[in-house]
Structure 1
């Protein structure tokens, strides 16, 4: 079992691509005379943390303390990152401003509850050597105080092979758990992490094979474990739950706990957050994964990128006993 009440005593470092998710809500009553496209009259807008910020949302919802590591631009979206993190009580001393790297902003235009357009403003080039050096210095100074590190890679240039190597070396020196949610197709980039949590599509691409059957999934997991030198691997499989791989152990399949599915966005962030907290609290791999699976089942039953509350998770776990 996982002691959820112990989560509030844990401190997590989240390293990853911080973004702003912007939602513009409105209605359509005509087609533009300039082009055959709808004209959306915006009636309201809201902004939320996206990317690695959603991992932070999940950790904070469980009562954990969080230290954020990343970059932000100097514009309005960058300001929003700092404001929203501070409102959550998250430490932001690990966020470095790169003037020529704008904060990633994903704008979704929604009319009559239907997304009609998404606009991405982002730069994908790797961080500068100067920024890398500054981040590693900050991580080196703070990692001894952490119970776990989560690397949330959205392939925007922050999570480089050099950064991952520095993080895993420092974490190993201080006995700190590390988890990574990958985006790169070369999973050797994450060698040294305690657990890797790709989804089924990412796992298939990384293994260089189509995953059509449980046997395919087992073969892909085995390839990834060997190539990346992993001790533990968790592959999320959407409506089919998740599969756990552990060196020297049999694979374990955990069925999804979702009662209904409205939106799967952000479910992977929930999984890695709860898995990390469970392992850091002393639970075994399977027990922590089952708690993460239950939390993901709650989240996909909500509209939009959401989190599960402590009370929701406790009630769901009690139902599953």
Structure 2
């Protein structure tokens, strides 16, 4: 993902108004140490050292929206009990007005209490609200939803299976949001997604989608089959996105379009709350006007930061940018491949259904024309490989004094670009042998070439393997030669 695009998006979501509807839970964590066993039963005694209380379930979505720079409004229910008062106080501490909370007379607020010893959870105790909402309470809740929808840019329905998200509430929210002209993103729970039909996006994880469809998701093909099965049961839903842990996300849109967003390999410490982070980032991006695929990539990046933390931690915009910058430096080292490794990588990508693109050049002094060509090329394929002329071949092609930058420097700069997935250095005067080995689906060159000129330089191998030559319009006024000429004139 281009860091400039990500930075621009994170700036745009600042202040985005998000209506959050869903089950609210008070998360309690009791931390301590265990050194002895109870005399009353064969169980360890936890010596409590500290206790933390925070908003959970839909409340954790609220925390993530706030951390990312959004302005949430929560509509939910609590009991008329001390825990309900705690929920209101915690919302106020996040800068969120608790006026959207409906206190149920005689009801109780949902809680989840975890007992943690030396970093390991010993026991988890749940307390669910009593029963389902009455008709009067449902009507009062829907009144709050309709009023809040008129002031929102996007809505999130966070179903944690605690009794709030009935069919009436779900369909009432969707109707109110359609009337207000805003999207609804659903984090589902349980079977029968028909109660969410009409939402803009339903975002189950792989296990949840398996429960809904009966299709065990083990790879791209089974993920797409499960998405097709779920979409076939819905008439008005725009898209379903399945989050697949380290495999990333896959979307099936009403139009029939499908797309995979791949996650980077990461050290995972705790997946708790990563789904809340993902739905928050996805919804904020859509509310700020981003397209679905950009919103998915941003959500994947945010969730990736979340799994690197312990507990139901939130993620800020600054953390996402810092992570993307750090990953960019790491990528620059890992993207440089030998010709054999590049051929194996390209074959593996194609086996996963990815469209592989290739371009080549000297890229001696990287300029805006180069950047534009690479970005346009990457937009046309799933993975882009850059074949880079070695120092010796540049000297043969360009003459004495070239290259200005050696091949390692040039490869490192190229590899730092988000639009470039891999870089391979070749020593021949043309990339024909490398193209034969890589067999790209698309071969990109600037429109100062013609297809006929490129065929003897390797383009014929592209076409023989079923690929296509794609010419990209160039930006006027940019070239390494003209840059060097300007430098020479400035010194004279």
| TM-score calculated relative to the size of structure 2 | 0.63
The question of 1:294 aligning with 2:314 is answered no
Which residue of structure 1 aligns with residue 436 of structure 2? none
Which residue of structure 1 aligns with residue 72 of structure 2? 66
What root-mean-square deviation, in Å, do the aligned CA atoms of Structure 1 and Structure 2 show? Answer: 1.4
One of 132, 135, 147 as aligned partner of 2:153: 147
Contact map agreement 2:81 2:107 (CA 8 A) in 1: no
The question of 1:104 aligning with 2:115 is answered no
Deviation at 1:145, TM superposition (A): 0.9
Query: 2-side partners of 1:54 and 1:214: how far apart?
Result: 30
Which residue of structure 1 aligns with residue 125 of structure 2? 119
Q: What SS is found at the alignment partner of 1:228?
A: coil
Contact map agreement 2:108 2:130 (CA 8 A) in 1: no
Please identify the structure whose Cα radius of gyration is greater. 2
Deviation at 1:313, TM superposition (A): 1.5
Q: Which runs of 5 or more structure 2 residues have no equivalent in the other structure?
A: 329-417, 419-492
The question of 1:273 aligning with 2:280 is answered yes
Deviation at 1:100, TM superposition (A): 2.8
- Post-superposition CA distance 1:141-169 (Å, at most 9, x none): 22111101100000111011001111111
| TM-score calculated relative to the size of structure 1 | 0.96
Deviation at 1:251, TM superposition (A): 1.7
Query: 2-side partners of 1:50 and 1:95: how far apart?
Result: 14
How many residues were matched structurally?
Answer: 321
Deviation at 1:258, TM superposition (A): 5.3
Q: 1:78 to 1:220 in 2, by over 3 A?
A: same
Q: Which has the larger displacement, 33-42 or 191-200? A: 33-42
The question of 1:172 aligning with 2:204 is answered no
The question of 1:200 aligning with 2:206 is answered yes
One of 185, 189, 193 as aligned partner of 1:187: 193
The question of 1:76 aligning with 2:77 is answered no
- Post-superposition CA distance 1:230-274 (Å, at most 9, x none): 211110111211111112243211122352100000011111110
Contact map agreement 1:258 1:301 (CA 8 A) in 2: no
Matches for 1:243-262 after TM superposition, within 5 Å: 243-257=250-264, 259-262=266-269
Query: 1-side partners of 2:179 and 2:105: how far apart?
Result: 33
Query: 1-side partners of 2:47 and 2:322: how far apart?
Result: 41
Query: 2-side partners of 1:228 and 1:14: how far apart?
Result: 23
Query: 1-side partners of 2:297 and 2:108: how far apart?
Result: 38
Deviation at 1:113, TM superposition (A): 1.4
Query: 1-side partners of 2:80 and 2:129: how far apart?
Result: 14
Q: 1:295 to 1:7 in 2, by over 3 A?
A: same
Query: 2-side partners of 1:206 and 1:124: how far apart?
Result: 26
Greater RCO structure (CA 8 Å; 6+ sep) = 1
Contact map agreement 1:258 1:297 (CA 8 A) in 2: no
Deviation at 1:276, TM superposition (A): 0.5
Q: 1:240 to 1:149 in 2, by over 3 A?
A: same
Contact map agreement 2:227 2:252 (CA 8 A) in 1: yes
Contact map agreement 1:28 1:38 (CA 8 A) in 2: yes
One of 90, 93, 118 as aligned partner of 2:96: 90
Contact map agreement 1:225 1:231 (CA 8 A) in 2: no
Contact map agreement 1:291 1:317 (CA 8 A) in 2: no
- Post-superposition CA distance 1:75-95 (Å, at most 9, x none): 222111101101111122111
Query: 2-side partners of 1:164 and 1:25: how far apart?
Result: 37
Contact map agreement 1:22 1:45 (CA 8 A) in 2: yes
Q: What SS is found at the alignment partner of 1:106?
A: strand
Contact map agreement 1:20 1:104 (CA 8 A) in 2: yes
Q: Which runs of 5 or more structure 1 residues have no equivalent in the other structure?
A: none
Deviation at 1:210, TM superposition (A): 2.0
- Post-superposition CA distance 1:88-113 (Å, at most 9, x none): 11122111001332111111111111
Contact map agreement 1:20 1:50 (CA 8 A) in 2: yes
Q: What SS is found at the alignment partner of 1:71?
A: strand
Q: 1:59 to 1:171 in 2, by over 3 A?
A: same
- Post-superposition CA distance 1:105-128 (Å, at most 9, x none): 111111111111111111362211
Deviation at 1:9, TM superposition (A): 2.7
Which residue of structure 1 aligns with residue 238 of structure 2? 231
